[in-house]
Amino acid sequence: MQILIKGGHLIDPANKKNGQFDLLISKGKIEAVEPEGKIKDIPGADIIDAKGAIVTPGFCDMHVHFREPGHEYKETIETGSQSAAAGGFTTVAVMPNTSPVNDNRSVTEFILSQAKETSNINILPIGAITQGLRGETLSDMGELKEAGCIGYSDDGRPVSNSEIMRRALEYSKMFDLPCIQHSEVLELTQGGSMNEGIVSTELGLKGMPTEAEDIMVHRDISLLPKTGGRLHVAHISSGGSVDLVRQAKAKGLAVTCEVAPHHFTLTHDACRGYDTNAKMSPPLRTESDLDMIKEGMRDGTIDIIATDHAPHDRVDKQVEFSKACFGIVGLETALPLTLKMVNENIISLEKAIDMLTFQPNQLFKLDKGTLGIGKAADITLFDEKMEYTINPSQFKSRSKNSPYKGWKVKGKVLRTMVNGKTIFKSN
């Protein structure tokens, strides 16, 4: 069956389209994109009236935790996929800190098998840099790529050993896949619960200094000239780190970075009242850091927006702040929080869509994030002006750990499509 999406405002940064276009889908692929009214109604075609909606390539989140295998009580590939679809995401990359760790072919194949059986979106595994995420011995990175991994990361545990990271970057060049680093010097953050500063002092909590992130980013960038590897800095949170990435890019080094919505919308003040939903790693920083992150988004230093969707059960969060797990669910709030940056004139709407669609796919050199002719019909429709109040109890995710409860926001996903099939439709 053919599907005709009519009357929408189409934004496709990859093809430099931004205006009123109609879009024709045939056999799950984009058949035509033409100015509004140029595609005539086709007998038997399914007509989708997109008047008042923004039509974009499906969003892509390159940093999520779906907890399967091993911690299915927090999230599964199935529930995580439902949450992603509700947030407008058609493709996600799942991190390897599962149990067992995704450091070998069998775990990668299990994830892909589960995705095929239970998911309605594109699931892309990230393989571990080191065996067991212990930072001691490299995983078989070639085997992981053959099994279907699209990148490497030890995720919440940084690769502290410089020699190991050097070799990982060398292999990343060989396999043409990025090494994704959680930038943190553990010796500086051990026992910490939040950003080190005036708020942590007032709350009597051990802090995690920005220097812990900056030092690791500097070290990894310093390894790039000799290795020729591809470095991606995950969930950047420090203004100093943003500046380091900016300088590295000016030198032509192969470094990219991502920012999570909570790091451009919240500061450490959110931890007041000991709200464990505001406990995350890297921690929420200062207003100054937030301003520098916004500048990095504005000038292109920060390449993509990724949620670091990290679901936790109530048991993991309803404890003392120092004992609570780090993490926040983010798939279903990413759009309105990103649009907040648009409404504040930090970035344009087209730039926001680029950071959610084409750029993350570019990171992994995937043939997605575009509405080009012949491409998969992975599409998101949303109303940028629709106002509502965030209510975590309504999330599709199995976990509800979000500090945004009660926030009044603009931007609602109306429909999400994968290969031309509607997998989510707003009530």
pLDDT digits (tens, 9 = 90+) for 275-333: 999 999 999 999 999 999 999 999 999 999 999 999 999 999 999 999 999 999 999 99
Number of independent structural domains in the chain: 2
Per-residue confidence (pLDDT) for residue 367, from 0 to 100:
93
Whether 398 is in a domain gets the answer no
pLDDT in tens, 258-278: 999 999 999 999 999 999 999
H-type alpha helices, 310-368: 314-317, 334-343, 349-356, 358-363
20, pLDDT greater than 90: yes
**The pLDDT value given to residue 150:** 98
When the pLDDT of each residue in the chain is averaged and rounded to a whole number, the result is 97
Neighbouring C-alpha atoms within 13 Å toward the C-beta of 240: 13
Percent of the chain clearing pLDDT 70 (strictly above): 100
Q: What average pLDDT does the segment 335-361 reach? A: 98
Answer whether 0.85 is exceeded by the pTM.
yes
Do 83 and 20 fall within a single domain? no
**CB neighbour list of residue 134: distance below 8 Å, 6 or more residues apart:** 157
Residue 41 and residue 63 in one domain = no
How confident is the model over 13-40, as a mean pLDDT? Answer: 96
Q: Tell me the residue type at 256.
A: T
Whether residue 154 is contained in a domain is answered as yes
Same domain, 239 and 109: yes
In tens, the pLDDT along 211-228 reads 999 999 999 999 999 999
Question: How many Å apart are CA 402 and CA 83, to the nearest integer?
Answer: 13
Q: Which residues of 92-103 are buried (b: 16+ CB within 10 A; e: fewer)?
A: bbbbbbbeebbb
Tokens for 241, please give them: 């780190």
pLDDT recorded at residue 7:
96
Same-domain status, 64 and 181: yes
Q: Which of 390, 384, 389, 388 is nearest to 411 (CA)?
A: 384
The reply to whether 108 and 141 lie within a common domain is yes
| pLDDT at residue number 269 | 98
Summarised one tens digit per residue, pLDDT across range 350-380 is: 999 999 999 999 999 999 999 999 999 999 9
For residues 147 and 164, membership in a common domain is answered with yes
Write down the pLDDT at residue 1.
80
Q: Do 286 and 221 lie in a common domain?
A: yes
- Specify if 395 maps to a domain: no
What type of residue sits at position 382?
Answer: F
Query: 3-class SS at 124?
Result: strand
Q: Please check whether residues 73 and 189 belong to one and the same domain.
A: yes
Find all residues with CB under 8 Å of 346, minimum gap 6, and list them: 264, 294, 297, 298
Q: Which domain holds residue 168?
A: 58-363
48 & 71 share domain:
no
For residue 43, pLDDT beyond 90: no
Residue spans of alpha helices (H) in 176-274: 186-189, 198-203, 210-222, 224-227, 239-250, 261-265
In the predicted model, is pLDDT for residue 91 greater than 90? yes
Q: Clarify whether 140 is annotated catalytic.
A: no
Beta bridge partners of 30: 25
CATH code of residue 46: 2.30.40.10
Residue 152: pLDDT over 90: yes
Question: Does pLDDT of 427 surpass 90?
Answer: no
Q: What would the DSSP string read from start to end of 301-348? A: SS-EE---B----HHHHSS-GGGSPP-B--TTTHHHHHHHHHHTTSS-
Instruction: For the chain, give the number of residues.
Output: 427
Residue among 308, 316, 354, 378 flagged as catalytic: 308
pLDDT, mean of residues 383-412: 98
Backbone phi, psi, residue 227, to 5°:
-85, -30
Same domain, residue pair 91 and 21: no
Q: What are phi and psi of 242, to 5 degrees?
A: -60, -45
Pair 344, 317 in one domain: yes
Regarding whether 125 and 92 lie in a shared domain, the answer is yes
Is the pLDDT at 41 greater than 90, yes or no? no
**Locus of tokens 């058609």:** 90
